[in-house]
Amino acid sequence: MGTLNGFGVGKPKSNTLDLCFTDPITSMKSPYNNLPPRSEEAIHAFKAAAYAGIMWNAKHKALFTTDEVWEYLEQFHSNRTPEPRVMGSVMIAAKQDGMISPTHIYRHSTRRKVNHGRMVKIWQSHIYEKELK
């Protein structure tokens, strides 16, 4: 897990993730949807929400794409962001934290209309918790 700072997600410093929104993992509340769209607070809140989405997907899926992270944001938060390209920096931060790694596999984006079916990278989880039956 990582610790968030004002400029993005930093290297892990503890076993806690400082989140500022409602999340099924932490059950914390946030003003994310009430922030001005281009404020630093909105960007920070989006990064925190996206990082939690990556963490949730990585715990529940061995392989996933950013489509699934955006789907998580739509379900639990908001997919509103001042800059959608911020998702890339959050994915890289999760990679640097050892949570995920990129594969050499791509697939067409099927969940986000704004992607127009472009190819998206498939990421591999290093924290996947396989369900035992």
Residues in contact with 3: Cβ distance below 8 Å, sequence separation at least 6, in sequence order: 9, 10, 11, 12, 13, 14, 16, 17, 18
Say what the pTM is. 0.70
> Mean pLDDT lowest for which of 7-16, 98-107, 122-131?
7-16
Quick check: is 38 in a domain? yes
Quick check: is 130 in a domain? no
Confidence of residue 124 (pLDDT cuts 50, 70, 90): very high
Quick check: is 51 in a domain? yes
> How do residues 98-117 score in pLDDT, each as one tens digit?
999 999 999 999 876 776 77
Quick check: is 131 in a domain? no
Radius of gyration of the chain (CA): 14
Q: What is the Cα 44 distance to its own chain's centre? A: 12
Quick check: is 133 in a domain? no
Count of structural domains, the chain: 1
Report how many helices (DSSP H) and strands (DSSP E) the chain contains, helices first.
3, 5
What residue numbers bound the domain in which 27 lies? 4-125
Please give the pLDDT value at position 34: 52
Quick check: is 40 in a domain? yes
